C-alpha cells in the first residue's frame, strides 16, 4: 500500500478550489488555490490553504497545512456548550447548540468545518458575506471562543461543589 492509499484517521474536506490566471507575454498561465478543512471527528479541527500549478498538489498542500493548524473545540455530547458568534472581515457566523437528533443545519464552509470537528447537532446561520475564506475563518473564530462548562466554572471560582450536611436523626 502506498501512502495515498492508506486510510487516513482524519476527515478531509475540500471547501473551495479557485483558478488563478497570471497574464504573461505568451498568454495566460493558470494555477490553482485550494481551501481545505481537516478534522479528527473527536473535537479537533483545522483548515489550510494551498496553491500549486495542478489541483491535486494544491489539495495536498492545503490538507497538510490544515493538519498542522488543528485546534480543540469544546463539545457537550454531540453539540456545542453554548451559543456563540464568530467574526472575520465581513463574515459573521452564528453557532447555536441543538438537541440530539437535530443534525447539522449549516451550509457550505460552515458544514465542512463543523462535521470535521465531530459536531453532529448544531444550528448555524451565515450573516454578511458568503466568501468561503472569510466564512471558514469566522466559523473557526466562533468555535475557538467556546468555553467548556468546566473552564467556565473554574473562571468563576465555582469549581468546588458545596458539601451538603445531612441533619442527624
What is the C-alpha to C-alpha distance for residues 102 and 126, in angstroms, rounded to an integer? 18
Q: How far apart are the first and last CA of the chain?
A: 71
One domain for residues 61 and 90? no
One domain for residues 120 and 58? no
96 within a domain of the structure (yes/no): yes
Residues paired with 86 in a beta bridge: 93
What is the C-alpha to C-alpha distance for residues 39 and 16, in angstroms, rounded to an integer? 16
User: Could you give the number of structural domains in the chain?
Assistant: 2
pLDDT digit string (tens) for the chain, length 169 residues: 444 545 568 999 999 999 999 999 999 999 999 999 999 999 999 999 999 999 999 999 999 999 999 999 999 989 999 999 999 999 999 999 999 999 999 988 999 999 999 999 999 999 999 999 999 999 999 999 998 888 888 888 876 554 444 555 5
One domain for residues 145 and 79? yes
One domain for residues 77 and 121? yes
100 is in which domain, residue-wise? 73-155
Q: Cα 113 to chain center, whole Å?
A: 3
113 within a domain of the structure (yes/no): yes
The candidate with the shortest Cα–Cα distance to 111, out of 77, 78, 136, is: 136
One domain for residues 80 and 49? no
In the block, cell 469544546 appears at 74
Q: What is the CATH number of the domain that holds 24?
A: 3.30.160.20
Amino acid at each position: 500500500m502506498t501512502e495515498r492509499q492508506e486510510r487516513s484517521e482524519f476527515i478531509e474536506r475540500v471547501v473551495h478550489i479557485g483558478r488563478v490566471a497570471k497574464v504573461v507575454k505568451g498568454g495566460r498561465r493558470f494555477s490553482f488555490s485550494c481551501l481545505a478543512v481537516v478534522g479528527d471527528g473527536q473535537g479537533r479541527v483545522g483548515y489550510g490553504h494551498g496553491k500549486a500549478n495542478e489541483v491535486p498538489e494544491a489539495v495536498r498542500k492545503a490538507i497538510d497545512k490544515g493538519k498542522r493548524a488543528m485546534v480543540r473545540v469544546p463539545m457537550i455530547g454531540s453539540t456545542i456548550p453554548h451559543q456563540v458568534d464568530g467574526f472575520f472581515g465581513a463574515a459573521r457566523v452564528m453557532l447555536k447548540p441543538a438537541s440530539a437528533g437535530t443534525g447539522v443545519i449549516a451550509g457550505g464552509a460552515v458544514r465542512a468545518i463543523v462535521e470535521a470537528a465531530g459536531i453532529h447537532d448544531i444550528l448555524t446561520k451565515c450573516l454578511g458575506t458568503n466568501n468561503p475564506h472569510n466564512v471558514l475563518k469566522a466559523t473557526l473564530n466562533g468555535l475557538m471562543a467556546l468555553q467548556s462548562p468546566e473552564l467556565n466554572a473554574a473562571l468563576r471560582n465555582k469549581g468546588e461543589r458545596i458539601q451538603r450536611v445531612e441533619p442527624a436523626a
